[in-house]
Amino acid sequence: MADSRSPTADRRRVAVLHNAISDSPTEDERDVLVQADAVVDALSALGHGVQRFACTLDLAALKHHLRETRPDVVFNLVEALDGSDRMAPVVPTLLDSLGIPYTGASALGLVLSNSKLLAKERLHTAGLATPPWVVGERGVSTPRSATGVGHTTGGLTPPARHNPEGHRLSPPYIIKAVWEHASFGMADDAVVLEAGARSVQDRLREWTVRWGRPCFAEHYVEGREFNLSVLAGKDRPEVLPPAEIDFSAFPDGKPRLVGYRAKWDAASFEYHHTPRRFDFPDADRALLERLAELACASWHLFGLRGYARVDFRVDGDGRPWVLEINSNPCLSPDAGFAAALDRAGIPFPQAVQRILDDAE
């Protein structure tokens, strides 16, 4: 979608907020600064006045900065506070209280999408298929089904919601952190492919201690992995070209997983052997159209704004399953969203302007 505005049209004072990184940052933390640099450069090229601020849990300092600089709008890149993605909605909540418009998902949208459990509950209630899952014994120990009670899906039969035995969740399944993103903790050993002496509840207890964060188990869908980026448009969201992760170089028995190493460890096998591809045969057309429909439906279901990314698995029978809703996904130049923009022929500054125009 072309944008004919001149670089100086509708010049605004924009505060770019991002989370402060630690003294010994990991690669995913450093990427926060790369993303902020890219957005600042784009906003400056568009003619906007830009101030940036690194946010911590010192909300008084943030409040003081905003009152001093008096931005027209905030470009919100805060993904975490104090090392936890769970805290991401804090900054939008403060901005709401101050009456300052900001880009991306609302505070409520971030809560609903950042919590993988809340997201899955919402998807399930809306009838959008998401893999069956189970939480630890101190939470709701009954399983959640993907498409309803007793629904059979040809080789992938979600346990019924009230089946007292369902909390066992037979392999294959994967352990995930409830709140953390950027493939936090995801490695091959988080995937349980075969039944053993240990129950899913035993494993959940172990991983909760290991990570120091709540986690849950989700049915591991063996199949193809797609992600679809969505960008705000003038009248409706635009679903960008779909990307598929190519696992063809993975040896037999290795879980097809875009884990932490695949995203952040440049020396790893996974980093170099999980390329994304945008070219598909005609036989995939109906599937890709369905994925686009589901991505758009997810956008509306979670009340998203500006930009988003929806991750899918497609099983051996061609059925798509929503894995995660990524509100405010990474905008770094080498990330999936930027790659989808490039494929769509949308210059990065134009996309930044569209995100800014959708701020509330």
Total residue count of the chain as it appears in this document: 360
Same domain, 70 and 145: no
Instruction: Indicate the pLDDT class of residue 140, thresholds 50, 70 and 90.
Output: very low
**Which of the four pLDDT bands, split at 50, 70 and 90, describes residue 168?**
low
- Contact present, 152 and 144 (Cβ < 8 Å): no
Please identify which residue in the block is written with the tokens 């399930």: 124
Q: Taking 90 as the threshold, does the pLDDT of residue 169 lie above it?
A: no
Confidence of residue 164 (pLDDT cuts 50, 70, 90): very low
Which amino acid is located at 344 in the chain? A
DSSP state of 251: P
Confidence band (pLDDT; 50, 70, 90) for 183? low
Q: Is residue 337 part of a domain?
A: yes
pLDDT at 76: 98
- The C-alpha atoms of residue 168 and residue 58 are separated, in whole angstroms, by 42
pLDDT at residue 142 in the model: 38
pLDDT at 293 over 90: yes
Pairing status of strand 243-245 against strand 224-231: antiparallel
Q: How many helices (H) and strands (E) does the chain have?
A: 11, 13
Tell me what the pLDDT averaged over the chain comes to.
87
Amino acid at 121: E
Cis ω before 101 (30° cut-off from 0) = no
Banded model confidence at residue 17, pLDDT cuts 50, 70, 90: very high
What is the rounded average pLDDT of the residues 180-205? 81
Residue 138: per-residue pLDDT: 61
Averaging pLDDT over each range in 5-19, 183-197, 266-280, 344-358, which range is the top one?
344-358
Residue 247 domain flag: yes
Residues 348, 333: contact at Cβ < 8 Å?
A: yes
Do 232 and 178 fall within a single domain? no
pLDDT of the residue at 123: 97
Looking at the structure, do residues 190 and 285 belong to the same domain, yes or no? Answer: no
pLDDT given for residue 159 in this prediction: 35
pLDDT for the residue numbered 216: 94
Shared domain check, 269 and 353: yes
Residue 227, pLDDT score = 96
Written as six digits, the tokens of 163 are 């089946």
Percent of the chain topping pLDDT 70: 88
- Whether the pLDDT of residue 166 is over 50: the answer is no
The answer to whether residue 162 scores a pLDDT higher than 60 is no
Q: What is the CATH number of the domain that holds 48?
A: 3.40.50.20
pLDDT digits (tens, 9 = 90+) for 297-338: 999 999 999 999 999 999 999 999 999 999 999 999 999 999
Separation CA 270–CA 277 (nearest Å) = 16
The mean pLDDT of 271-293, rounded to a whole number, is 96
- Statement to judge: residues 91 and 23 lie in one domain: yes
User: Quick check: 78 pLDDT over 50?
Assistant: yes
Q: Are residues 35 and 71 in the same domain?
A: yes
Are 331 and 238 in a shared domain? yes
Residue 118 is assigned to a structural domain of this protein: no
> Does residue 12 carry a pLDDT above 70?
yes
Report the range of poorest mean pLDDT among 66-70, 189-193, 326-330: 189-193
Res 145: pLDDT: 44
Task: Say if 122 falls within a structural domain.
Answer: no
β-partners of residue 19 are 55
- What is the distance, to the nearest Å, from the Cα of residue 116 to the centroid of all Cα atoms in its chain? 10
CATH of the domain at 320: 3.30.470.20
Which is nearest to 75 in space by CA: 13, 150, 156, 145? 13
Q: Is residue 287 part of a domain?
A: yes
pLDDT at 45: 97
Q: Into how many domains does the chain fold?
A: 3
Residue 195 belongs to some domain of the structure? yes
Same domain? For 316 and 213 the reply is: no
Distance set, CA 249 to CA 197, 256, 263, 265 (Å):
32, 10, 16, 17
Per-residue model confidence (pLDDT) at position 160: 31
Helical segments of the chain, H only: 27-45, 59-69, 90-98, 107-114, 116-126, 200-211, 260-264, 269-272, 285-301, 336-344, 348-357
pLDDT for 351 equals: 98
Report whether pLDDT(53) > 60.
Answer: yes
> Residue 331: its pLDDT value, please?
97
Q: Is residue 124 part of a domain?
A: no
Q: Which residue has the higher pLDDT, 343 or 161?
A: 343
In a domain, 121, yes or no: no
Specify the higher pLDDT residue, 355 or 3. Answer: 355
Find the domain containing 140 and state its range.
132-219
Q: Which long-range contacts (CB under 8 A, 24 or more apart) does 119-126 make?
A: 119/302, 119/324, 119/325, 120/144, 120/218, 122/301, 122/302, 123/298, 123/301, 123/322, 123/325, 126/297, 126/301
Of the pLDDT bands very low, low, confident and very high (cuts 50, 70, 90), residue 147 is very low
pLDDT score of 242 = 98
Phi, psi angle pair for 160, to nearest 5°: -60, 150
Name the β-bridge partners of 225. Answer: 245, 313
Comparing 56-60, 185-189, 272-276, which segment has the lowest mean pLDDT?
A: 185-189
